[in-house]
A and B are shown apart, each in its own frame.
Chain A
Amino acid sequence: MRGSGARNPRFESPYAASALAAASLAAAGSAAAAFLPFFVLRPNRIAQGRSIALVQAEPWILAALMVLWAAFLFLELRSSRRGAAIVSVSIVALALAATGLAAPRLAGVSHVARLSLGSGFWLLGLAAYASFVVASRGVGGSPESRRAWSFASSLALVIVLGLLLASGSLDSLSIVREWGAQRAVFAAQMRRHVALTAAAVIAGGLLGLSIGGAASRGKTAKSTGFLALNFFQTIPSLALFGLLILPLAALANRFPLLRSWGIGGIGVAPALIALSLYAALPIARNACAGLEGVPPAALDAGRGMGMGKAQLFLRVELPLALPVVVAGFRTATVQAIGNVAIAALIGAGGMGVFIFQGLGQFAMDMVLMGTLPVVAMALAADAAFGSLARALTPRGLRIAAIRAGDAP
């Protein structure tokens, strides 16, 4: 190991740091797989569970995992980053395969028994994900190739998961059984969740863009606009939903036309109003910042050259502000995905239905069935908007950012 003997501080730091990270992750990952409960078997949905270690369930796979962790550490220390990254992806794939093999055997016999994934599985997965991140940071090449590389790895994992699910080997898992019992409802609520998020971001976007645009032009507009939005942001979502019930109900009673459109005190309408108000703030903030970030000298020169107000906006302000505005939408969308989960409590539907029903029945796997899709959606939305922001950044700005030392 280069770092251990040399006294040269320039080499010692970065190499030793990543070696330490790799070693800790390998140790944590192996310990999690070996010692923590990998599965938890319950005789029925709500009774207490019995832990099952991986060494009991699939000893050969445990051995294979140990070998893979050792391989990961070895490759990392030799700085073959790509190899290390591939190994970390394989670790996750193997853990999933272990589940696929063990589940039918452990819980397949009884249709009442419930097999859940224990802390060992989750920590192993976390360690593997962290290892992947550490390894791919070091992979050389342009930022585009690095992004393609992470995308390819995520895709590989999704395919593995998909194959396992399709083959039915994961069917005995508690979370899959929960899903099986509610398939149609799950699909409907998923659609509802996406629709609510989209509607909230669109409506909030329109509101936020108007307020942000006005704010960048005038001080009074700025202070009142943000005062209002900040005020709503401080109200916890559930409270805001509750507050909207009475006025909306009164309104719907006064104008029956609204009720026939499905607008009333409970359900989608109050949820959508509150969600849009929450989404409006990050969008307004970013719209204002984006427009204010346009160099004033450029605007002065533009006007002085004879560009009309509309032309100046379309040709100069908009392209320069766009990346920041898109970042605002990114934040708003990720937030909205989370907020929609709470909207289930006033009857708006969405994944929150499973979260709260699960909580009410103390069935943690149902809660998980509601939570994992929300997390996955949030991650996907974040990545998608990230790519969009990059695509919409004018080349001149990208170069300026690189020169300023910001990560591309």
Chain B
Amino acid sequence: MIRFEGVGRSFGEVWAVRTLDLAIAERELCVLVGPSGAGKSTILRMINRLVEPSEGRVTLDGKELRSIDPDTLRRGIGYVIQGVGLFPHLTVSANVSVVPELLGWARARVSARAREMLELVGLDPDRYGPRYPSQLSGGEAQRVGVARALASDPPILLMDEPFSAVDPVNRLRLQQEFLSIQRRLRKTVVFVTHDVDEAIRLADRIAVLRSGSLVQYDAPEALLDAPADAFIAGFLGSDRALKRLSRRAIRDWMRPARKASVDEDLAGLLCGEDPGYWWVVDGSGRLLGCLDRALAGCSEDPRRIIAAQRIEDMAVDLDTSLKDALSAMLGSSARTIPVVDGAFRLVGEIALDDIERASDRAQSR
């Protein structure tokens, strides 16, 4: 439990942080969000004593930070920054091994741990271990940064806009991968960003800051449902309803799919009594295409119809958010789209009605 009590910090005449009272629970991912100059980074850096408060105190599990030796404190806290800050003269493995070596771990343990961490962030240790930072892309470098921060298995992780310098495509991937890492490791994470979507996607709780003060501290749904003032409402954006949907995953809201096997009499289906649609799967359950009576006549060849479709564009996977599913629906002008697993096997379908239900549910709370 990290606690800020009446904390303030001034730089000359300017107060970057003012009378901050904030409690960050263990094993929670707390996101500090706000416009530039809100004091987010300053607050983050007060946790590992890179910045000292001008007034008030910060405690960790009841102990005042001031009473702990700064270097010892920092070795027990992971630190990931926007510029990554890898040491250019050390290999990737050596970079990851820095803190364990500082802590005096045995060499075998250190190298085993370095491998483990690289695998955790999705980098092959044999390929990436001997490389140098100048040989990495931005996304790869930040993965190494995260691996380095987690190497000594610290209970707390501080992240200062870690994905902001990465291109949007990779940023999304990094966020998703980080979420799955966090689900496994359950660290206490304090994450700074100015990107609202990122905050909503990742946070267990969000602390909205403005000009050095805490304006609201809530779970994302609560924040989206009831912003405390016009500023926050504006900061969250006018598409709050859509944002709410981004917290919901398809697996919770989908319905069973209307299947038809490719070995069935598909032509018969097209001419039969049922006026609806079917998702056609092969023997192992893989999705091949869609037959819709509204679009295809009785005399048409089902196989030709399926062959001409681009079913990959329509399908979504289990972990996709409802917001992205809605986007896919709009893109393919369909009111329902198939849901597949990692092997592209049909596991269900999601319809516009399901999304409305999910949205409604949130409203009524």
B132 at the interface (CB under 8 A from A): yes
Would B85 and A302 count as touching, CB distance under 8 A? yes
A156 to B234, CA, bound (A): 78
On whether A303 and B74 interact (CB within 8 A), knowing A319-B89, A400-B134, the answer reads yes
Residues of B within 8 A of A304 (CB): 48, 50, 74, 77, 79, 81, 158
B86 at the interface (CB under 8 A from A): yes
A307 at the interface (CB under 8 A from B): yes
Would B84 and A305 count as touching, CB distance under 8 A? no
A308 to B90, CA, bound (A): 18
Looking at the assembled complex, report how far the CB atom of A313 sits from the nearest CB atom of chain B, in whole angstroms.
13
A394 to B134, CA, bound (A): 13
Looking at the assembled complex, report how far the CB atom of B110 sits from the nearest CB atom of chain A, in whole angstroms.
14
Which of B70, B88, B102 is most buried by chain A, counting CB atoms within 10 A of its CB? B88
Would A297 and B85 count as touching, CB distance under 8 A? yes
Would A297 and B73 count as touching, CB distance under 8 A? no
Would B81 and A306 count as touching, CB distance under 8 A? no
Interface string of B59-95 (1 = CB under 8 A from A): 0000000000011111111010111111111110000
Looking at the assembled complex, report how far the CB atom of A71 sits from the nearest CB atom of chain B, in whole angstroms.
44
Residue of A nearest to B88 (CB): A396
Residues of A within 8 A of B86 (CB): 298, 301
From the candidates B76, B81, B135, name the one contacting A399 in the complex (CB within 8 A): B135
B99 at the interface (CB under 8 A from A): yes
Residue of A nearest to B98 (CB): A305
Looking at the assembled complex, report how far the CB atom of A231 sits from the nearest CB atom of chain B, in whole angstroms.
33
A144 at the interface (CB under 8 A from B): no
B220 at the interface (CB under 8 A from A): no
A319 to B89, CA, bound (A): 8
Looking at the assembled complex, report how far the CB atom of A296 sits from the nearest CB atom of chain B, in whole angstroms.
8
Which of B77, B84, B87, B149 is most buried by chain A, counting CB atoms within 10 A of its CB? B87
Looking at the assembled complex, report how far the CB atom of A399 sits from the nearest CB atom of chain B, in whole angstroms.
5
Would A301 and B79 count as touching, CB distance under 8 A? yes
A305 to B97, CA, bound (A): 11
B302 at the interface (CB under 8 A from A): no
Would B87 and A316 count as touching, CB distance under 8 A? yes
Residues of A within 8 A of B39 (CB): none
Would A306 and B74 count as touching, CB distance under 8 A? yes
Residue of A nearest to B151 (CB): A305
Looking at the assembled complex, report how far the CB atom of A362 sits from the nearest CB atom of chain B, in whole angstroms.
56
From the candidates A295, A306, A395, name the one contacting B75 in the complex (CB within 8 A): A306
Looking at the assembled complex, report how far the CB atom of A90 sits from the nearest CB atom of chain B, in whole angstroms.
42
A403 at the interface (CB under 8 A from B): yes
Would A400 and B83 count as touching, CB distance under 8 A? no
A320 at the interface (CB under 8 A from B): yes
A152 at the interface (CB under 8 A from B): no
Residues of B within 8 A of A246 (CB): none
Would B89 and A306 count as touching, CB distance under 8 A? no
A235 at the interface (CB under 8 A from B): no
A394 to B89, CA, bound (A): 6
Would B48 and A396 count as touching, CB distance under 8 A? no
Residue of B nearest to A309 (CB): B71
A397 at the interface (CB under 8 A from B): yes
A243-288: which have CB < 8 Å to B? none
A292-328: which have CB < 8 Å to B? 295-308, 311, 316, 319-320
Would A298 and B102 count as touching, CB distance under 8 A? no
Would A295 and B83 count as touching, CB distance under 8 A? yes
A319 to B87, CA, bound (A): 10
Would A297 and B91 count as touching, CB distance under 8 A? no
Would A298 and B134 count as touching, CB distance under 8 A? no
On whether A399 and B134 interact (CB within 8 A), knowing A295-B88, A394-B89, the answer reads yes
Residues of B within 8 A of A296 (CB): 83
Would A295 and B71 count as touching, CB distance under 8 A? no
Residue of B nearest to A320 (CB): B89
A316 to B77, CA, bound (A): 20
B348 at the interface (CB under 8 A from A): no
A306 to B84, CA, bound (A): 16
Looking at the assembled complex, report how far the CB atom of B69 sits from the nearest CB atom of chain A, in whole angstroms.
10
Would A303 and B89 count as touching, CB distance under 8 A? no
Residues of B within 8 A of A305 (CB): 74-75, 79, 98-99, 102, 148-149
B133 at the interface (CB under 8 A from A): yes
Looking at the assembled complex, report how far the CB atom of B96 sits from the nearest CB atom of chain A, in whole angstroms.
11
Would B89 and A300 count as touching, CB distance under 8 A? no
Residues of A within 8 A of B71 (CB): 306-308
A306 to B74, CA, bound (A): 5
A298 to B79, CA, bound (A): 12
On whether A307 and B85 interact (CB within 8 A), knowing A399-B134, A403-B134, the answer reads no
Would A396 and B74 count as touching, CB distance under 8 A? no
A403 to B131, CA, bound (A): 13
Looking at the assembled complex, report how far the CB atom of B159 sits from the nearest CB atom of chain A, in whole angstroms.
11
Would A397 and B85 count as touching, CB distance under 8 A? no
From the candidates B88, B99, B158, name the one contacting A306 in the complex (CB within 8 A): B99
A388 to B88, CA, bound (A): 20
Residues of B within 8 A of A400 (CB): 88, 132-134
Looking at the assembled complex, report how far the CB atom of A314 sits from the nearest CB atom of chain B, in whole angstroms.
13
Residue of B nearest to A403 (CB): B134
Would A300 and B87 count as touching, CB distance under 8 A? no
On whether A300 and B85 interact (CB within 8 A), knowing A305-B75, A306-B73, A307-B71, the answer reads yes
Would A397 and B73 count as touching, CB distance under 8 A? no
Residue of A nearest to B89 (CB): A394
Would A307 and B102 count as touching, CB distance under 8 A? yes
Residues of A within 8 A of B89 (CB): 316, 319-320, 394-397
A188 to B355, CA, bound (A): 95
Interface string of A382-408 (1 = CB under 8 A from B): 000000000000111101100100000
Looking at the assembled complex, report how far the CB atom of B92 sits from the nearest CB atom of chain A, in whole angstroms.
10
Would A396 and B132 count as touching, CB distance under 8 A? yes
Looking at the assembled complex, report how far the CB atom of B33 sits from the nearest CB atom of chain A, in whole angstroms.
21
Would A295 and B85 count as touching, CB distance under 8 A? yes
Would A298 and B87 count as touching, CB distance under 8 A? yes
B99-149: which have CB < 8 Å to A? 99, 102, 132-135, 145, 148-149
A395 to B132, CA, bound (A): 9
Looking at the assembled complex, report how far the CB atom of B131 sits from the nearest CB atom of chain A, in whole angstroms.
9
Besides A300-B83, A396-B133, 5 more A-B contacts (Cβ < 8 Å) are A296-B83, A299-B85, A306-B72, A306-B74, A316-B87
Interface residues of A (CB under 8 A from B): 295-308, 311, 316, 319-320, 394-397, 399-400, 403
Q: Which 9 A-B pairs have the closest CB atoms?
A: A301-B85, A297-B83, A306-B74, A306-B75, A400-B134, A394-B89, A304-B79, A297-B85, A396-B132
A and B contact pairs by CB, cutoff 8 A, 8 listed = A298-B88, A300-B83, A304-B158, A306-B70, A396-B91, A396-B132, A399-B135, A400-B88
Interface residues of B (CB under 8 A from A): 48, 50, 70-77, 79, 81-91, 98-99, 102, 132-135, 145, 148-149, 158
